[in-house]
């Protein structure tokens, strides 16, 4: 079986992801930003496939690009975007942004220069045929279900989020 993780696909997908992320941050119309963010998330789903995580790629497409971004577009219908073109786009914090970016760049470069040797040299042999089964065993298995309690906590978190969103968005009665 020929590997799918060729350098061409990696550079193609990551280039699309980074380019559309920059477009997302710099566009003034939030609808254009949302469309660019959808393209970024789809490119990231392709990168997940290259990392042998097909279940997370599917979750990415269905939940991020299909669910969350549609919710963003619905909210944009409720707020008016015509007035955005006459007021300025950025606030006066670009010095803070520059400093934060510089510190993050120093951190990443130092981490990669020093820590790249401490990573394991051999990648694991993750089978992609039973990826969903392995994740399901980690979540729900009788002996291997390490994450059953955090999964229940996540369900309670989602319930609280739904109730909170409805309470904050409803009209005052």
Rounded Cα–Cα distance for residues 131 and 30 (Å)? 36
Rounded Cα–Cα distance for residues 30 and 72 (Å)? 9
1/151 with CB nearer other proteins = 151
The verdict on 66 binding other proteins (CB under 8 A) reads no
Among 4, 75, 106, 110, binds other proteins (CB under 8 A): 75
Among 33, 42, 46, 61, binds other proteins (CB under 8 A): 33
Site for other proteins in 11-30 (CB under 8 A): 11, 14, 17-18, 21-22, 24-25, 30
The verdict on 42 binding other proteins (CB under 8 A) reads no
Only one residue has tokens 């914090």, namely: 93
Closest approach, Cβ 143 to other proteins, in A, equals 15
The verdict on 64 binding other proteins (CB under 8 A) reads yes
Q: What are phi and psi of 29, to 5 degrees?
A: -85, 120
1/89 with CB nearer other proteins = 89
Q: What is the residue-wise DSSP string for 15-64?
A: HHHHHHHHHHHH-SSHHHHHHHHHHHHHHHHHHHHHTT-HHHHHHIIIII
Interface map 85-124 toward other proteins (x if CB under 8 A): --xxxxx-xx-xx--xx--xx--x---x---x--xx--xx
C-beta separation of 24 from 40 below 8 A? yes
1/167 with CB nearer other proteins = 167
Q: How far is CA 66 from the centre of its chain?
A: 13
């Amino acid at each position: 079986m020929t590997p799918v993780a060729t350098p061409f696909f990696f550079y193609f997908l990551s280039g699309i992801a980074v380019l559309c992320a920059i477009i997302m941050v710099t566009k003034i119309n939030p609808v254009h930003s949302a469309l660019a963010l959808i393209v970024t998330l789809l490119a990231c789903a392709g990168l997940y496939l290259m990392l042998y995580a097909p279940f997370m790629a599917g979750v990415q497409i269905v939940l991020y690009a299909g669910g969350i971004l549609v919710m963003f577009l619905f909210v944009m219908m409720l707020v008016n975007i015509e007035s955005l073109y006459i007021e300025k786009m950025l606030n006066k914090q670009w010095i803070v942004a520059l400093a934060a970016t510089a510190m993050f760049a120093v951190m990443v470069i130092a981490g990669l220069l020093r820590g790249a040797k401490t990573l394991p040299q051999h990648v694991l042999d993750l089978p992609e045929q039973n990826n969903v089964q392995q994740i399901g065993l980690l979540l729900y298995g009788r002996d291997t279900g390490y994450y059953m309690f955090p999964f229940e906590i996540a369900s309670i978190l989602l319930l609280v989020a739904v109730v909170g969103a409805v309470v904050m968005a409803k009209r005052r009665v």
